Amino acid sequence: MKAKIGLVVSDFNQEITSIMEKAAEKAAKSLKLEVVKKIHVPGAFEIPFAANKLLKNKKINAVVALGAVVQGETYHDVVIMNAVSSALVDLSIKYNKPIGFGVIGPRVAWQQAKARAEEYAKRAVKAAAEMAKIKD
């Protein structure tokens, strides 16, 4: 059976996240996964809300979250990453479905995030695919 996934893509730092989106779609295709639904959100903070919507969908076996939270002059990136990662773990457990975590950060420079974009996306899709194989 072909696993079906949903993608959540943050549009903040779109030059980076568009690379991630393309890499995730390519990785999904190579792993014979079907991307059933894709939701774009304004920023990383909104990823859990969209992931929640996708996890409720009975057709979706796993979700992949993609975003880039770049370091600024404050610790805002750390706060955002802590909130997003914690919320995604809680949602994964609540719905008993895996979430591939492809959100870059915190404490990374823009250039570092861009350099890691493709690899993070591929790894997130692969993790979601592997975890979706685990049966109750």
Return the active site residues: 76
Q: Can you tell me whether residue 41 is helix, strand or coil? A: strand
3-state secondary structure 74-117: CCHHHHHHHHHHHHHHHHHHHHCCCEEEEEECCCCCHHHHHHHH
Q: Please tell me the distance from the alpha carbon of residue 32 to that of residue 30, in angstroms, as a whole number.
A: 5
For residue 110, give the nearest of 47, 16, 34, 44 by alpha carbon.
16
Residues 108 and 10 sit within 8 Å (Cβ to Cβ): no
Give the strands of the sheet with 99-104, arranged side by side: 34-41, 4-10, 62-68, 99-104
